Amino acid sequence: MATKMWLIIPAAGVGSRMQADRSKQYLLLNGRPIIEHTLERLAIALPYAEFVICLNPEDPYWPSVQRPEGITLREVSGGKERADSVLNGLKMIASQASEDDWVLVHDVARPCVRPSDITDLVMGLNDSDIGGILALPVADTMKRSHPDGSISETVDRTALWHALTPQMFRFGRLYQALEEGLAAGATITDEASALEWLGFCPQLIAGHRDNIKVTHPDDLAFAELFIRAQQEQSEADKTGSAL
């Protein structure tokens, strides 16, 4: 039976660290809400995927969001934490998904993701049984702190990566990992950590460092800059002019 591709977009967060007057996914970048930038890029990369967006039931802004044309988009209520929201998305599609269907999960708060990175992830994992994630090798020296803010140790950065999204796993295994891991009280901050809790070793696929998660107020300016730079590069590529 042909497998399907599902795309779950956790968008039920309240953005407390952003300290804004609304959830951060509705703050504007270049005049458009973050959520529209994210959906637009996901639709470019994965037009054939079945989209599932996890929303806060109290979200007053979603009805006004411009959706990409031509995609299938289901809505589901988010949960207490990000992992709960993703599990709600999996529960919604359970009756229509097969065990081996691919499920990608991408934070709505990552609007600068390059469609080419998403296609690299899909191609890079096509023959994988486990799945994997977009990630970025750490380039700085990493420190761990004492409670008073002083340095307790330098953490060896060899083979240390930043986990990004999308993350891509088979439906059956992701569902099992999240359901059992959350029930067991495991700390699950991304889909890969749930698979690791089950004992699997997901693949790391290198992405670009402009795939930032908009989390704190100063991230907005970086995201705006990255989106403008990507648009300028895209125009330059079209006209063949070197930037």
Q: Does 165 bind ligand LQXTBERG (CB under 6 A)?
A: yes
- Burial 35-47, CB ≥16 within 10 A → b, else e: bbbbbbbbbebbe
Q: Does 36 bind ligand LQXTBERG (CB under 6 A)?
A: no
β-pairing, 131-137 with 161-170?
Answer: antiparallel
Q: Does 35 bind ligand CTP (CB under 6 A)?
A: no
Question: What secondary structure letter does DSSP report for 165?
Answer: E
Distance CA 202, CA 118 (A): 16
Q: Does 190 bind ligand LQXTBERG (CB under 6 A)?
A: yes
| Alpha helical stretches, state H, 63-218 | 82-93, 115-125, 171-183, 191-197
Pick one of 8, 76, 108, 205: the residue that binds ligand CTP (CB under 6 A): 108
Residue in the structure block whose two tokens are 């690791």: 196
Long-range contacts of 196-200 (CB under 8 A, 24+ apart): 198/173, 200/130, 200/173
Q: Does 98 bind ligand LQXTBERG (CB under 6 A)?
A: no
Pick the stretch among 15-23, 39-47, 62-70, 94-102 that binds ligand CTP (CB under 6 A): 15-23
Q: What values do phi and psi take at 203, rounded to 5?
A: -80, 150
Pick one of 109, 182, 205, 212: the residue that binds ligand CTP (CB under 6 A): 109
Per-position x/- string for 180-209, each x denoting binding to ligand CTP as judged by CB under 6 A, each - no binding = ------------------------------
The nearest distance, CB 100 to ligand CTP, in angstroms, is 25
Q: What residues make contact with ligand CTP under the rule CB under 6 A? A: 10-17, 25, 54, 78-82, 85, 107-109, 213, 215
Q: What residues make contact with ligand LQXTBERG under the rule CB under 6 A? A: 82, 107, 163, 165, 189-190, 213
